[in-house]
Amino acid sequence: MTTTAPYDKTNIFARILRGELPCKKVFENEFALAFEDIHPSAPVHVLVIPKGEFVSFDDFAAKASEVMQAGFWRAVGTVARQTGVDKTGYRIVANHGADAHQIVFHFHVHVIGGRQLSSKMANMPKELPQTA
Ligand code: 5GP
């Protein structure tokens, strides 16, 4: 899929949002749903997704309302505090498009922490998941 492809309502995260597929929920409000990544690369690896049809970060940044953007990023901060990684440190990642290995085309932010992460940003989390 290209970075300009339209939103596909059958993507996995859309199905999780609709309750058609299960998830290990961490947080939910009117703006966002957060759940554990199925293949965690650290003790805390939570995905935060907006409640709206946005293909990627670029799509979200360009099209989401100010209220949605503020509500979503507040939810990301809440997830970090709720999981405790705000005290030890964490990384937030949003993969956009092919070069960044985006594999699910519903915008999502990874909240990763719970251990010391690699200082090599460009290598995480896909290429070196064991040291991300
Ligand atoms: P990205 O698109 O940013 O490269 O990564 C998508 C992430 O979604 C991956 O870290 C992958 O492990 C996670 N993922 C893919 N399918 C599922 C699923 O069905 N459930 C959950 N909880 N995570 C998933």
Mean of pLDDT values over 33-46: 98
Hey, what domains does the chain have and what are their CATH numbers? 12-113 (3.30.428.10)
Count of alpha carbons within 13 angstroms of residue 113, beta-carbon side: 15
pLDDT at 127: 47
Cβ-contact 79, 46 below 8 angstroms: yes
Active site residue 108: yes
pLDDT at 5: 85
User: Cα of 126 to ligand 1 centre, how many Å?
Assistant: 11
- Res. 59: pLDDT tops 70: yes
User: Cα of 26 to ligand 1 centre, how many Å?
Assistant: 15
pLDDT more than 70, % of the chain: 89
Q: Which residues surround ligand 1 with Cβ inside 6 Å?
A: 12, 23, 35-39, 47, 95, 101-104
Q: What is the mean pLDDT of the chain?
A: 92
76: Cβ contacts below 8 Å, ≥ 6 apart: 32, 48, 92, 109, 111
- Residue-wise pLDDT for 92-131, tens only, equals 999 999 999 999 999 999 999 999 999 987 665 554 555 5
